[in-house]
């Protein structure tokens, strides 16, 4: 039932989905429970034994939970901040094209982009060799983009729908 889940962010090999309960098992409709129980190992890793769990953890094509928490700010593909896990040190974020070590990446940076609808910047620093000489470089780039081309962003700036193509 679409009232129990919403896609938040997706890419080629991943999807962030918000659900209306503590676990996916809790949102299975009673009328579909038998079918889910019968087919769930086609979609998710087995949990019946430690051996099965270890094998299925590495099986391509199965959906695996990588992170669980309260919320996500998904600006665009590979640019998101997940927070609200029980262990506050386990916030998860990605910022494509920007060094995580060289920038102060915070939830507030993502929220500012979402609220102002203006891209945020990041700085990359490194070394480059040209004509047998080594140079350092500093590159400032618009890396926290508000533009999200993979789904239709509604007027509230947060809610998305599939593209109508």
User: Which is more confident, 9 or 154?
Assistant: 154
pLDDT score for 65: 86
Torsion of CA 80, 110, 21, 7, to 10 degrees: -50
Asked if the model's pLDDT at residue 88 lies above 80, the reply is no
- φ, ψ at 33 (rounded to 5°): -60, -45
Note every long-range contact of 138-141, with CB atoms under 8 Å and residues 24 or more positions apart, other chains counting: 141/97, 141/98
Which whole number is the average pLDDT over 146-158? Answer: 86
CA distance 81 to 83: 7
pLDDT score for 143: 85
pLDDT score for 43: 94
CA distance 141 to 98: 8
pLDDT score for 3: 83
pLDDT score for 133: 94
**pLDDT tens-digit series, residues 13-42:** 788 888 999 888 999 999 999 999 999 999
**pLDDT tens-digit series, residues 37-66:** 999 999 999 999 999 999 999 999 999 888
**pLDDT tens-digit series, residues 118-141:** 999 999 999 999 999 999 999 998
Note every long-range contact of 60-64, with CB atoms under 8 Å and residues 24 or more positions apart, other chains counting: 63/15
């Amino acid at each position: 039932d679409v009232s129990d889940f919403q896609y938040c962010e997706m890419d080629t090999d991943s999807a962030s989905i918000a659900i209306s309960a503590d676990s996916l098992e809790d949102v299975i409709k009673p009328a579909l429970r038998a079918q889910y129980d019968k087919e769930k190992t086609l979609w998710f890793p087995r949990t019946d034994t430690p051996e099965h769990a270890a094998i299925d953890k590495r099986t391509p094509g199965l959906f695996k939970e990588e992170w669980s928490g309260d919320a996500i700010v998904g600006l665009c593909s590979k640019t998101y901040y997940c927070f609200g896990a029980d262990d506050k040190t386990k916030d998860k974020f990605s910022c494509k094209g920007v060094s995580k070590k060289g920038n102060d990446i915070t939830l507030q940076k993502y929220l500012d982009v979402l609220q102002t609808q203006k891209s945020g910047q990041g700085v990359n620093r490194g070394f480059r060799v040209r004509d047998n000489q080594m140079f350092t470089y500093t590159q400032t780039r618009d890396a926290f983009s508000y533009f999200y081309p993979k789904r239709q962003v509604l007027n509230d700036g947060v809610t998305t729908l599939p593209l109508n193509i």
